[in-house]
Structure 1
Amino acid sequence: MSFRHSTLLASSLAVLLLAGCTVGPKYQRPQVPVPPSYRGGAVVNSTPADAKATAASLGAEKWSTVFQDPVLQKLISEAITNNYDIRIAAQRILEEQDQLGITRAQEYPTLSGGASYNTIGLPASISKALGGNNNNSNTGRKNIYAGGLSLSAAWNLDFWGYYRSQTAAARDQLLASTWARRMTIDTVVENVATAYFQLRTLDAELAITRQTVAARKNSLQLTQTLERGGSGTLEDVRQAQESLYQATAQIPDLERQIAQEEDALSILLGRNPGPVLHGNLSSVDWPDPHQVPAGLPLQLLERRPDIEEAEAQLRADNANVDVARARFFPQLSITGNGGTDSSQFKQLFDGSNILWYVTGSLTQSIFDAGSLRNNLHLTQAEKQQQVLTYSQTIQKAFQNVSDSLIALHRYREYRAQEEKYVAAAKDATRLARMRYKGGATSYLEVLTNDTTYYQAQISLLTAREQEAISFVQLYSALGGGWQ
């Protein structure tokens, strides 16, 4: 084997080895302290059956399984399809897909071709001076024809993983955008469910207020009848009127709140502000939060879209560090050009008319006033910042779950006490009305108990609303909603 062939073989082997090299360390997920359980988890998963299902999680369930109210399901489905934030997030994914295609194309050779055709007409004087044969006997002019084909190729050899790292960064950016869209869906589902339960609470409050108005109208008629019969007083009539007007004044304000809540929900649905579907008040399917498996905190790292998005961004930043490191090394490119040119088409592909050449170039920065070094430090700082962002995102996720678990448990207790409060206030109001009709007490006692009963009903609605919203927030905090 000749020295020339040995050198060529060694060079080829070196190219094959270097083509797989990268200059940065392999990505490793940062170590983040993970608690063994959620604070507040024990108060929800307190039964033996719940303990057996510790590894299960509400967040793994589909939203259509968690929210079984048919009206709410229709609203969520419409929001996922038409919400502008979700649609914008989807367009960002398409943008990142195109960017990935552009970046990945740099790893491959480029090839371009061309064709040319030229005609030169020489006047007779020049043609005669050149001594050529005229091909136009009438004018003495001479026409010269020429045509050609060309082909060029270029390839930047990726010895140090410069282009591969750029592709990896673009791929992780695409993944981050995908998780960002899922997080947007999660947020929209949470907001729609929350707005729906708030709207239904206002509907129920309006219904109770109208019932209260009707009852107080009857009370006013009763006081007027008793006053005319001499067994009542004008003061009782005035107190009945005050309580009636006070309750009636609540109706316009509740109708305002309902209309504004509908407008907010319409925007979430991708509509212009306007009425939305409520459904029958008696058919509202409030979530049952008595059995809520929270799962293990470690599972949250693989389920919450915002955590996955933060890690994908971290991997992209890690790849950008590799890109910055690769710029310190020489860049090798190969360029080839070839073509053919002839005045006769049949000789266009004749070997004597073909021209080609291949060149290679090696470029290395000698002096850049610290630009490469500072660029590397910049990417490293961005990566470290994202490490902190990733860790912070996880901690906030744990806090979201713990806060939601605690809130759900406390609002459950609150609602149970409010139910007892409503039952007691209702009975006290009934007894006060009976005593008033029998002349055993003044209307003031009726008014006091009636006001207490009305406030107790509103408080119970608020407790039930907060319990339902806490359930929605827990589902979202556990990474549910985007499935």
Structure 2
Amino acid sequence: MNKTWVDAPAKTRGAIDEAMAKTSPGVHAPSSRALLFIMVSACLLLAGCAVGPDFKKPAAPDVGGYTAHPLSTTASSANVAGGEAQRFDKRGDIPGDWWTLFHSRQLNALIEQSLASNHDLKAAQAALAVARENTLAGRGAYYPSVTAGFSASRQQDPPGALAPVPSNNAFLYNLFTPQVSVSYVPDVFGLNRRTVESLKAQEQSVRYQTIAAQITLSANVVAAAVQQASLRAQIDATHKLIDINSHMLRILRYQLAKGYVGRLDVAAQESQLAQVNATLPALVKQLGQQDHLLAVLSGRFPGQAPAENFELADLQLPRELPLSLPSQLVAQRPDVLQAEASMHAASAQVGIATANRLPNISLTANAGSTALAIGQLFKSGTGFWNLGAAATAPIFQGGTLLHQQRAAKAAYVQAAEQYRSTVLTAFQNVADTLTALEQDAEGLKAAATAADAAKVTLDLSQRQWKDGYASYLSLLSAEQADQQAQIALVQAQANRYADTAALFQALGGGWWHRAESDRADPAKADSMKAENEK
């Protein structure tokens, strides 16, 4: 039940008056036992109140799609690896191990190795453990605090004292005092509950941050493996281009020596060879960087790169792509859920700042024994106890508490705007990826057409050269065009694989189907599974 702090004092006064009337009718000065009963009754009466706003989950955005023109299928390219048409299924669910849809055992093994050994992911999991323990520690405020103590002292009073302290009139004596102290702060205005609520929301934020790190890691491994395969194919084609251009240059130099061509033709070919040679170091550098990246992602040193050498031909392009509804996206993207949890924590902080401006009640109790000798500690007549209740209320703090409350409200507005921004970014990610997949299919289709045309040209050039109708330079030129078309085709294939992985990441990565996610947040995982099964 949510109460404002203005209502609380009136209810408190009513509870006190009622308790006094029931305890000692007609008596204006209640006993100490009645006062204690009054205080406890008032605390119990207000125990259900919690000041500050109650957090409400933001509503899903009222939009029907991600792009201006809905997509159903992409273009296809016949007889090309990765050229299959992809269909978007709005009712499809995202598997937790979505990378297995590429049907590569090497890729599956590398991702599982990365999920088990990546140090950034382990750090995120440790941060989640910290947040969980902080939440459990905060719950301790719900219970009384019990402490035990023991003191021993030897004391001498001056002989001229009016009276010695011990009952045996000794001026030199030992004093032993064991005691147990109990203190309890009733959660009258919900300060403890709002604090635990904030801690739990922060734990949820870290949990979704850990899930996001897991999804990002698996997507990065797929992207790095695809890029590695693409670079290997491009390097092979570049080496062939260098061989072709070197052969052409040798022929032109021979023809120059015989007077069949001019120096300009040789210089042009030398420039062409130099340009092709210049592209090779950049490709080799990128390949080395991808090898190092795969090693680090899997928890190894760069010099311990995994032995797997990926080839695009070993990957299978998923044909059925799940496309979650916009209302589902905000409920399954971990970054959106993290922003929502941060918003919840900021809401609870408003209640904390409000409760800090209200009175605070504490109950205390002490019980123990004191004696001049250890053997007499638990004998009759040595025990003592006391009960106490205290109430404190801030009167003047120089505006500190007021401005802290205003700052908490402003922080909630900030968190709400950050949540909306995160939602927009999530929709942008999906829209960008869908557009990329559509254009990747068109790009691959164009690259496949160009590669087919270059292959036909090469076949005709080879026949003409064999029959003596074309020069060897013409044949080498056709081979060069064919290799350049192959490089463009490889790049187009890699784009489709990489952007397909990006779509799974943009839609949330299916984390609710993974066992570790069930353990981390079973309620959320179960709700996501039920929603996707509808």
TM-score by length of 2: 0.77
What SS does the aligned partner of 2:321 have? coil
Closer/same/farther in 2, CA of residues 222 and 431 from structure 1, 3 Å limit: farther
> Could you tell me which amino acid in structure 1 is paired with residue 98 of structure 2?
W
Closer/same/farther in 2, CA of residues 450 and 347 from structure 1, 3 Å limit: same
What SS does the aligned partner of 1:274 have? helix
Q: Please give the per-residue CA displacement for 1:418-466, whole angstroms capped at 9, x wherever unaligned.
A: 1121111012022123323433234443343233212111111111111
What SS does the aligned partner of 2:181 have? strand
What SS does the aligned partner of 2:65 have? coil
Looking at structure 2, the residues matched to 293 and 207 of structure 1 have their Cα atoms a distance apart, in angstroms, of 35
Trace 1:294-443 onto structure 2 (pairs within 5 A): 294-443=323-472
Q: Aligned residue for 1:137?
A: none
Looking at structure 2, the residues matched to 469 and 280 of structure 1 have their Cα atoms a distance apart, in angstroms, of 17
> Could you tell me which amino acid in structure 1 is paired with residue 63 of structure 2?
P
User: Could you tell me how far 1:11 is from its partner in structure 2?
Assistant: 5.5
1:14 maps onto 2:42 in alignment = yes
> Could you tell me which amino acid in structure 2 is paired with residue 93 of structure 1?
L
Trace 1:103-252 onto structure 2 (pairs within 5 A): 103-119=138-154, 144-213=173-242, 247=276, 250-252=279-281
> Could you tell me which amino acid in structure 1 is paired with residue 44 of structure 2?
L
Looking at structure 2, the residues matched to 268 and 245 of structure 1 have their Cα atoms a distance apart, in angstroms, of 36
> Could you tell me which amino acid in structure 1 is paired with residue 104 of structure 2?
D
1:28 maps onto 2:56 in alignment = yes
What SS does the aligned partner of 2:185 have? strand
**Maintained 8 Å contact 2:242/2:276:** yes
Q: Please give the per-residue CA displacement for 1:209-239, whole angstroms capped at 9, x wherever unaligned.
A: 33445566777888899999x9x87989998
User: Could you tell me how far 1:314 is from its partner in structure 2?
Assistant: 0.7
Q: Please give the per-residue CA displacement for 1:392-432, whole angstroms capped at 9, x wherever unaligned.
A: 11111011101101110110111022112111101202212
What SS does the aligned partner of 2:90 have? coil
What SS does the aligned partner of 1:352 have? coil
Looking at structure 1, the residues matched to 52 and 282 of structure 2 have their Cα atoms a distance apart, in angstroms, of 63
**Maintained 8 Å contact 1:172/1:312:** yes
User: Could you tell me how far 1:263 is from its partner in structure 2?
Assistant: 1.8
Q: Please give the per-residue CA displacement for 1:361-398, whole angstroms capped at 9, x wherever unaligned.
A: 11111122322221111001000111111111111101
Trace 1:24-63 onto structure 2 (pairs within 5 A): 24-31=52-59, 33-39=61-67, 42-45=70-73, 53-58=89-94, 60-63=95-98
Looking at structure 2, the residues matched to 404 and 396 of structure 1 have their Cα atoms a distance apart, in angstroms, of 12
> Could you tell me which amino acid in structure 2 is paired with residue 71 of structure 1?
Q
Closer/same/farther in 2, CA of residues 63 and 449 from structure 1, 3 Å limit: same
**Maintained 8 Å contact 2:226/2:312:** no
Looking at structure 2, the residues matched to 464 and 23 of structure 1 have their Cα atoms a distance apart, in angstroms, of 58
Closer/same/farther in 2, CA of residues 249 and 201 from structure 1, 3 Å limit: same
Looking at structure 2, the residues matched to 119 and 479 of structure 1 have their Cα atoms a distance apart, in angstroms, of 70
What SS does the aligned partner of 2:142 have? coil
User: Could you tell me how far 1:325 is from its partner in structure 2?
Assistant: 1.2
Looking at structure 2, the residues matched to 300 and 25 of structure 1 have their Cα atoms a distance apart, in angstroms, of 26
Q: Aligned residue for 2:120?
A: 85
Q: Aligned residue for 2:322?
A: 293
> Could you tell me which amino acid in structure 2 is paired with residue 95 of structure 1?
V
- Listed as ranges, the gaps of 5+ residues in structure 2 are 1-18, 76-85, 515-534
Moved more, 345-354 or 317-326: 345-354
Looking at structure 2, the residues matched to 338 and 65 of structure 1 have their Cα atoms a distance apart, in angstroms, of 66
What SS does the aligned partner of 2:203 have? helix
Looking at structure 1, the residues matched to 49 and 311 of structure 2 have their Cα atoms a distance apart, in angstroms, of 67
- Listed as ranges, the gaps of 5+ residues in structure 1 are 133-140
User: Could you tell me how far 1:332 is from its partner in structure 2?
Assistant: 0.1
User: Could you tell me how far 1:31 is from its partner in structure 2?
Assistant: 3.4
1:461 maps onto 2:480 in alignment = no
**Maintained 8 Å contact 2:61/2:326:** no
Looking at structure 1, the residues matched to 434 and 146 of structure 2 have their Cα atoms a distance apart, in angstroms, of 61
Q: Aligned residue for 1:269?
A: 298
User: Could you tell me how far 1:63 is from its partner in structure 2?
Assistant: 3.3
Aligned match for 1:478, one of 507, 510, 527: 507
**Maintained 8 Å contact 1:203/1:258:** yes
Looking at structure 2, the residues matched to 399 and 378 of structure 1 have their Cα atoms a distance apart, in angstroms, of 31
Moved more, 329-338 or 426-435: 426-435
**Maintained 8 Å contact 1:239/1:443:** no
Looking at structure 2, the residues matched to 394 and 161 of structure 1 have their Cα atoms a distance apart, in angstroms, of 31
> Could you tell me which amino acid in structure 2 is paired with residue 33 of structure 1?
P
Q: Please give the per-residue CA displacement for 1:277-303, whole angstroms capped at 9, x wherever unaligned.
A: 364555753342432121211111121
What SS does the aligned partner of 2:57 have? coil
RMSD value over aligned CA atoms?
Answer: 3.7
How high is the sequence identity, in percent, across the aligned residues? 27
Q: Aligned residue for 1:68?
A: 103
What SS does the aligned partner of 2:475 have? helix
Looking at structure 2, the residues matched to 438 and 446 of structure 1 have their Cα atoms a distance apart, in angstroms, of 12
Closer/same/farther in 2, CA of residues 184 and 206 from structure 1, 3 Å limit: same
Moved more, 112-121 or 323-332: 112-121
> Could you tell me which amino acid in structure 2 is paired with residue 255 of structure 1?
V
1:100 maps onto 2:135 in alignment = yes
Looking at structure 2, the residues matched to 66 and 304 of structure 1 have their Cα atoms a distance apart, in angstroms, of 20
**Maintained 8 Å contact 2:241/2:480:** no
Looking at structure 2, the residues matched to 218 and 427 of structure 1 have their Cα atoms a distance apart, in angstroms, of 22
> Could you tell me which amino acid in structure 2 is paired with residue 185 of structure 1?
Q
Q: How many residues align?
A: 468
User: Could you tell me how far 1:241 is from its partner in structure 2?
Assistant: 7.7
Looking at structure 2, the residues matched to 173 and 393 of structure 1 have their Cα atoms a distance apart, in angstroms, of 17
**Maintained 8 Å contact 2:144/2:182:** yes
Moved more, 399-408 or 65-74: 65-74
Looking at structure 2, the residues matched to 374 and 241 of structure 1 have their Cα atoms a distance apart, in angstroms, of 74
